[in-house]
Amino acid sequence: MASLAPSPDAPNPALAAQAALLARPVTEERRMADAIRALAIDAVEQAKSGHPGMPMGMADAATTLFTKFLKFDAADPRWPDRDRFVLSAGHGSMLLYALLNLTGQEGMGIDDIKRFRQLHSPAAGHPEYGEHPGIETTTGPLGQGLANAVGMALAERLLAARFGKSLVDHRTWVIAGDGCLQEGISHEAASLAGHLQLSKLTVLYDDNSITIDGDTALSFTDDTLKRFAAYGWAVRRVDGHDPADLAAAMLWASRSRRPTLLACKTIIGFSAPTKAGTAGSHGSPLGPTEAAAAKSALGWNHPPFEVPDGLRAQWEAAGRRSAGTRRSWLKRLTRHPQREEFERAIAGRLPNAWHEALATLRIQTAEQKPKLATRVASQKALEALVPAVPEMVGGSADLTGSNNTNVKGIPAVTPGNFAGRYIHYGVREHGMAAAMNGMALHGGIIPYSGTFLVFADYMRPAIRLAALMRQRVIHVLTHDSIGLGEDGPTHQPVETLAGLRAIPNLCVFRPGDAMETAECWELAVKRADGPTVLALSRQNLAAFRTDTGENRCARGGYVVEEAPGPRQATLIASGSEVGLALAARTALEAEGIATAVVSLPCWELFAAQDASYREQVLGSALRVGIEAATGFGWERWLGPDGVFVGMTGFGASAPAEALFKHFGITAEAVVAAVKKRLG
Ligand SMILES: Cc1ncc(C[n+]2csc(CCOP(=O)(O)OP(=O)(O)O)c2C)c(N)n1
Ligand SMILES: [Mg+2]
């Protein structure tokens, strides 16, 4: 069969279409779009790296959006009721930087753009959350932005249900490319958005038929419109270089009762005389000759980085378009009966009494010493937290009963009805985690959700971005070891903890009993500047903590039982293995071996303690690490002379007790290892 992709020697069909477009009289809109194109060309030339093609192709669509539809005020990019704009195709970052600059936003001056892709410039290679308030999320890993946007659109609906549309009534707009739509995460996220009827979400699809390898015919022959229509979206084809068609489509999208996909047919690298319509304009500078010719084709004869004053003034006026709308909103906020509560939630401040019920739970737990699976203890913590913290929105990727993430009396969200606070995400872990990032980024929501720990790998790219962006999202990951038993090695994480612990700024908690679980939940909710994973057991665990004062998990690791005299061994364990370490200690003490037990529920927090505390906890006696996972990373705490008792490979299918015996993770094995080393 003949290849669908054009041969590299074939004439470039985009050039004829481009010539026809360039032959049209230059309109005001074209000039405004050309300012974006020129800045993108210049910045990429200057940096000698970057992606000019996408901003050049999507400049017309972005101009229509920013001058006619997007509700924003350049004077306050943090205005809570602004429309959210997500550049999911993050490689086209210069499109966003040009828009921020041209609309007159502080913090993205022309000098910043001249330093595109240089150290400490807010104009980084890809949009980085935190570099400028107009950057709503970090993008670059394709598809993530689209899924973040689904979370933002969902957050908007949830907050509108809570505070009413006089305070919360905005849209979410996304620019996504072929790459975003090829990625699996876009399928999950779009399917969820269609199901939930997130009507205030619009994706402008840069339908340019080009990715890095060349024509999309090489790898992408889906009928994308039919695909989105099947998800329950309203879809429409648009001429991505025709302002009237773009405006009509965006107006139509704003009135839709379903999420909308506008497939904007564009020419990548529009105006470049030879590279337009080809992958050649995707990810490298046009080069001085092609760059000059592109500008000349546009009739743009200004020096690099210069935008004529009149054109700047037009763009700045676009940046002020919604200033009046914002002022009216501020007036409504002042009079609104829920003003304080709204401002508190948006600022991410917890309610005053947020941990009172949890404190009561800790006292009860100390008295009752319940033998519980930590996933069940987690549910008890949620029963204390969720009613007290109205911004907590839960969910699970179809494992609600296993993850114990639901709370009695808290209703679920259903399509078109957002009065609930629990999301049935379906079996869409990646989409779920990225949507949660979007909810946290939107503000006013603390998302938590669940799946099995082993499926953290299905969410890893989104967890990594939450850590990079310092977002408060909480993942309840249950069935945390071979302790889950019969489901077998596909479901038994062994390397997962190590993989998660390797992510900077992610707190991975593995509590060992009900008290530790309550403490870890308290820390997770309080943690305003980063994500948290709670690794929880399926099996019941005996209580070892009966003190209720200090939150001992806050230091990441602590001595549970000290040795009666100078230590001969220190057993260091997490989660279900703390109980095992305590049993081994009893046996060792019986043989006269002075042994301490350390619980290490969070490496990230323990590593942040001062060295003297860590030394005091870990001690100078023989260190034995015990964890039903691979030992990768444990040398950090055990040093070169330590012993590790855990897994060395994958698990197996059998009842949990049989597995712990089979893999030698038992109190007897620990005792034997200590005695062998102490000789
Ligand atoms: C998850 C992920 N995989 C791969 C890449 C590398 N990458 C960046 S852009 C791109 C091609 C994207 O094509 P498209 O979205 O159509 O962008 P266009 O070339 O049209 O600008 C690839 C593969 C990435 N950024 N993220
Ligand atoms: Mg493309």
Gap between the Cα atoms of 169 and 30, Å rounded:
30
- Among residues 540, 545, 517, 578, which one has the least CA distance to residue 657? 540
Ligand 1 atom at shortest distance from the alpha carbon of 143: 1
Please write down the HEC assignment for all residues of 406-467: CCCCCCECECCECCCCEEECCCCHHHHHHHHHHHHHHCCCEEEEEEEHHHHHHCHHHHHHHH
Query: Which residue from 55, 38, 34, 97 is spatially nearest to 268, judged by alpha carbons?
Result: 55
pLDDT of residue 10: 76
Rounded distance from Cα 269 to ligand 2 centre (Å): 11
Among protein residues, the one with the nearest Cα to ligand 1's atom 16 is 178
Q: Which residues does a 6 A CB cutoff place in the pocket of ligand 1?
A: 53-54, 89, 91-92, 140-142, 177-180, 183, 206, 208, 210-212, 268, 282
What's the pLDDT score for residue 569? 98
The number of the ligand nearest the C-alpha atom of 89 reads 1
> Does 331 have pLDDT greater than 50?
yes
From ligand 2's centre to the CA of 48, what distance in Å? 21
Cα–Cα distance, 364 to 358 (Å, whole number):
10
pLDDT of residue 2: 44
Whether 93 contacts 101, CB under 8 Å: no
Q: Decide if pLDDT at 8 tops 80.
A: no
Going from the Cα of 270 to the center of ligand 2, the distance in angstroms, rounded, reads: 13
Q: What's the mean pLDDT in 575-583? A: 98
- Average of per-residue pLDDT across 438-444: 98
Distance 209 CA to ligand 1 centre (A): 12
CA 468 to each of CA 221, 464, 465, 635: distance values in angstroms, whole numbers, following the listed order: 34, 6, 5, 26
Of the candidates 45, 128, 183, 429, the residue annotated as catalytic is 429
Instruction: Name the DSSP letter for residue 84.
Output: E
pLDDT recorded at residue 7:
66
CA nearest ligand 1 atom 12, residue: 179
**pLDDT tens digit sequence for 591-632:** 999 999 999 999 999 999 999 999 999 999 999 999 999 999
- pLDDT of 594 reads 98
422 pLDDT above the threshold of 50? yes
Name the β-bridge partners of 392. Answer: 446
Give the per-residue pLDDT at 4. 54
Among residues 351, 438, 447, the alpha carbon closest in space to that of 397 is found at: 447
Nearest ligand to the CA of 209 is 2
The predicted structure's pLDDT at residue 6: 61
Closest residue by Cα to residue 93 from 151, 177, 2: 177
The backbone torsions φ and ψ at residue 584, rounded to the nearest 5 degrees and listed phi first, read -65, -35
Locate the ligand 1 atom nearest the alpha carbon of residue 279 and give its number.
Answer: 19
Q: What is the mean pLDDT of residues 536-565?
A: 97
| Burial tier of 408 (Cβ tally within 10 Å: 0-12, 13-18, 19+) | exposed
Q: How far is the CA of 207 from the centre of ligand 1 (A)?
A: 13
pTM, full prediction: 0.98
Residue 5: what pLDDT? 60
- pLDDT tens for 115-161 read 999 999 999 999 999 999 999 999 999 999 999 999 999 999 999 99
Residue of the CA atom closest to atom 23 of ligand 1: 212
The pLDDT-based confidence of 3 (bands split at 50, 70, 90) is very low
Q: What is the mean predicted confidence (pLDDT) over 566-594?
A: 98
Ligand nearest to the CA of residue 175, numbered in listed order:
1
Chain-centre distance of CA 150, in angstroms? 12
- Percent of the chain surpassing pLDDT 90: 98
Annotated catalytic, 429?
yes
Burial of 103 (0-12, 13-18, 19+ CB in 10 A): buried
Q: In which residue are the tokens 């737990």 written?
A: 365
Q: Report how far residue 495's alpha carbon sits from residue 21's, in angstroms, rounded to the nearest whole number.
A: 55
* Helix or strand holding residue 645 (H, E): strand 643-647
C-alpha distance across the termini of the chain, in Å? 72
Q: Which atom of ligand 1 is nearest to the CA of 53?
A: 21
| C-alpha 449 to ligand 2 mean position (Å) | 33
Nearest-atom index, ligand 1, CA of 461: 1
8 A C-beta contact, residue 520 and residue 534? yes
Which of 175, 211, 215 is the pocket-test mutation for ligand 1 (most atoms within 8 Å of CB)? 211
- Average confidence (pLDDT) over 238-254: 98
- Which pLDDT belongs to residue 488? 98
pLDDT at 150: 99
Mean pLDDT within 215-229: 98
